[in-house]
């Protein structure tokens, strides 16, 4: 009788342990960056960390806003190559971005975006900053001059004179 009771408790313990290991993977909606409106799935770069995490719960890491945070804090999606810098109010979209954009930007030649974006407000060898209706769009290139292609981009609700990007 003791053996049956022991075996029953043992199997129940094993069953509950096995069930405790099952976790549903957090699922996010597909990322859609509207370059002309300065949003990601209708979220602006100025939204709070909680608003971003609520919309996209599958973040790979986060950094609290504050004095010790390297870039002022953020919500990071390394597997999707998109980063929300919440204290500095900008979003960075990397070269391996896993999502869609309203206009093709990544890999586009430097001078081919004039019709869509106009002239840049500030030009440098490896980047251009465009004044947009919502704030600033910064395109970073893989090479200087006309041969350069967009490697990654950042956008913010702040103007170019207020924007502080993380190194």
- The residue ranges of every structural domain in the chain are 31-156
Report, in this order, helix, strand and coil percent for the chain, each rounded to 5. 20, 30, 50
Pairing of strands 122-123, 99-101: unpaired
Q: Are 100 and 31 in contact (CB under 8 A)?
A: yes
DSSP state of 43: B
Q: What is the pLDDT along the chain (167 residues), one digit of tens a residue?
A: 556 555 555 555 555 555 556 666 678 899 999 999 999 999 999 999 999 999 999 999 999 887 676 788 899 999 999 999 999 999 999 999 999 999 999 999 998 988 899 999 999 999 999 999 999 999 999 998 888 999 999 999 999 888 888 77
| Cβ atoms 128, 110 nearer than 8 A | yes
Alpha-carbon dihedral sign for residues 50, 42, 152, 146: negative
Residue 69: name the closest of 84, 55, 80 by CA. Answer: 84
């Amino acid at each position: 009788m003791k053996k049956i009771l022991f075996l029953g408790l043992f199997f129940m313990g094993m069953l509950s342990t096995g069930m405790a290991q099952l976790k549903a993977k957090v699922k996010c909606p597909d990322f859609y960056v509207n370059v002309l409106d300065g949003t990601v799935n209708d979220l602006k770069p100025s939204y709070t960390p909680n608003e971003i995490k609520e919309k996209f719960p599958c973040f790979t890491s986060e950094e609290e806003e504050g004095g010790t945070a390297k870039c002022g804090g953020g919500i990071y999606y390394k597997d999707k190559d998109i980063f929300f810098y919440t204290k500095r109010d900008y979003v960075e979209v990397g070269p391996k971005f896993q999502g869609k954009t309203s206009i093709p930007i990544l890999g586009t030649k430097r001078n081919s975006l004039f019709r869509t974006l106009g002239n840049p407000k500030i030009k440098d060898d490896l980047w251009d900053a465009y004044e947009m209706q919502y704030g600033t769009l910064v395109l970073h290139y893989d090479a200087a001059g006309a041969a350069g292609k967009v490697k990654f981009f950042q956008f913010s609700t702040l103007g170019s004179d207020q924007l502080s990007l993380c190194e």
